[in-house]
Structure 1
């Protein structure tokens, strides 16, 4: 596999950044994840942090050398994120469960597998056009599908920022899976939070994803989102992957050069401004919460056998 990948996040006008994102890859597979902590509930940043770390941990644990059943893996691991968040809520005695959106992309056998909960999006750009896009789990998208509002009413609807499906909270997430999509030379896969797609036009997003250097494309995309959100807006985050070797830069990655047992992971840098609701939650505590859920699942599987 040959690809170029870039990621970035901006705080925007919000007092702190609740977005989290990361990617991980080895010789046979690539995994990308983005989570947008829900600001209407306390500790959204914690939920997003747990989501990203849990999914990256699962990819590193299960992809040896590849994920045997991608759809099942994505569904089960996102459901596990929900359980880990609840475990942390109980440990920290929080009054309510932290909540987050999530969108993930897995690439193996030259195919793209996506899953999402909420309104963080995945796009596939091909020859400068949108070949695929996830559909938001939001009130306005539901009204649009049902024919109750027109497309030109979406951006001005009073409930445009409300979603009905998330990870964390009282209800289990309804994970939406995408059928596998074979990738072609030059395809670009983009994951982004609503702070990006909500303020940057579709045409501008596509143009940035056509950039000769995808790192420049992501930077310009975030610059546009930042400029459009000077006084009112959201955190903005994006990961983009340019597939193949049509455009080769010094940053192009060839997994053929990697040893079989090496996995590379890039977590986005922690926000400079911490949330006022920040918990004293260490990486070790998150790992412990993940391990406890794994142990409980293991016991359940043994009972079923």
Structure 2
């Protein structure tokens, strides 16, 4: 359960003619019941009666929220702002060219978290026990938008002449102002810090972190006050709240000491049993993991052997198919050449037989003519067969 263990704040006029800042939190005389609501407002100096606007809005927001006895919601914060706008509009009786306006930052403490709502450039920070910044609200200003767009650096934004131009504020004659809300998770010994822009004018985020380390709230406030007196050009206000988070429920006030001891013993036994169960489950999971690992290895090995066999068979089929087509081509070429040779041998044999049978010179002359004709025919046939052979070879290629 989250609660405030200690809280304090300051609000100073600074170099201005009057103090337009206003802070509101509650602590009873015995420090027994610290407020769950923290409010800080910074009246707008360029508008009329900023000191009146900041007080009206802060008091109205605090009154709306402080009456809540349950956990706060985002709707509760928006309702508090809406009520503050109504109160501000009723008080806006001054005949000035500019309406009353103010910034607002409010933090509310729930059992399990903290809600932070803000309008304008007053800020809320969350630091851990070592002074490390965990959270910071985002200013509603032109220079903040320029920083987010990487047009300006943080330092350039602080020194810019346009740093006071706000994109959102609590101002009279408006009823539709939207409060921006952040939900924070809290650890034990975290610190909330709410401040107006007068503090930011004098102290950077890194310096705030250093100030909070190893200092109690009053010492930290005194150091912030000292730095702002020297450097700030505006009113400056700051609230610091130390938070605690009880992660274990305390025993009931109605429980006897015996009952408490019994519950403690039961919890101890239960813890031992849980530890034994935990060890058994770890061992079972370890065995199951080893089994799955071995199964996975066997599966990979079997798959590897199968793919090797598939590769060998595929290679054998490819080589066999390739060899078949090559040998078939060679065989067909040899067969064609053999037929052409037999045809040539047959025709030659016929011519020789005719020469042996010639009887006179006339026969010899006729035979020579026939031989010459047969020779040309044989030559033609041979080249014809060879031509067919080469044509088929090219077609196969």
Residue correspondence of structure 1 range 96-245 to structure 2 within 5 A: 96-126=98-128, 127-171=130-174, 172-178=176-182, 180-229=183-232, 233-244=233-244
CA contact (8 A) 1:137 1:163 kept: yes
Once the two structures are TM-superposed, the CA of residue 95 in structure 1 deviates from its matched residue by 5.3
CA contact (8 A) 1:186 1:243 kept: yes
Change (3 A) 1:185 1:77: same
CA contact (8 A) 1:58 1:77 kept: yes
- Normalised by the length of structure 1, the TM-score is 0.72
CA contact (8 A) 1:5 1:215 kept: no
Once the two structures are TM-superposed, the CA of residue 79 in structure 1 deviates from its matched residue by 2.3
Query: Residues of 2 paired with 1:176 and 1:16: CA distance?
Result: 29
- 1:60 maps to 66
Once the two structures are TM-superposed, the CA of residue 185 in structure 1 deviates from its matched residue by 1.3
Q: 1:8 aligned to 7, 10, 13, which one?
A: 10
Consecutive unaligned residues in structure 1, runs of 5 or more: 247-305
- 1:20 maps to 22
Once the two structures are TM-superposed, the CA of residue 150 in structure 1 deviates from its matched residue by 3.6
Once the two structures are TM-superposed, the CA of residue 137 in structure 1 deviates from its matched residue by 0.3
Secondary structure in 1 matching 2:208: helix
Secondary structure in 2 matching 1:50: helix
Query: Residues of 2 paired with 1:226 and 1:121: CA distance?
Result: 19
CA contact (8 A) 1:9 1:222 kept: no
- Considering only aligned residues, what root-mean-square deviation do their CA atoms show, in Å? 2.3
Query: Residues of 2 paired with 1:191 and 1:240: CA distance?
Result: 7
Query: Residues of 1 paired with 2:152 and 2:220: CA distance?
Result: 33
CA contact (8 A) 2:6 2:242 kept: yes
Higher relative contact order (CA 8 A, sep 6+): 1
- Normalised by the length of structure 2, the TM-score is 0.56
Change (3 A) 1:93 1:149: closer
CA contact (8 A) 1:96 1:169 kept: no
Once the two structures are TM-superposed, the CA of residue 227 in structure 1 deviates from its matched residue by 1.4
Secondary structure in 2 matching 1:198: helix
Secondary structure in 1 matching 2:241: strand
Which has the higher Rg, Structure 1 or Structure 2?
A: 2
Once the two structures are TM-superposed, the CA of residue 218 in structure 1 deviates from its matched residue by 1.3
Once the two structures are TM-superposed, the CA of residue 83 in structure 1 deviates from its matched residue by 1.9
- 1:41 maps to 47
Query: Residues of 1 paired with 2:148 and 2:235: CA distance?
Result: 27
CA contact (8 A) 2:105 2:117 kept: yes
Query: Residues of 2 paired with 1:137 and 1:21: CA distance?
Result: 20
Once the two structures are TM-superposed, the CA of residue 221 in structure 1 deviates from its matched residue by 1.1
Query: Residues of 2 paired with 1:15 and 1:211: CA distance?
Result: 35
Once the two structures are TM-superposed, the CA of residue 2 in structure 1 deviates from its matched residue by 5.0
Aligned length: 239
Once the two structures are TM-superposed, the CA of residue 18 in structure 1 deviates from its matched residue by 0.5
Once the two structures are TM-superposed, the CA of residue 60 in structure 1 deviates from its matched residue by 2.6
More strand by share: 1
Once the two structures are TM-superposed, the CA of residue 136 in structure 1 deviates from its matched residue by 0.4
Query: Residues of 1 paired with 2:177 and 2:229: CA distance?
Result: 30
CA contact (8 A) 2:48 2:96 kept: no
Query: Residues of 2 paired with 1:27 and 1:8: CA distance?
Result: 20
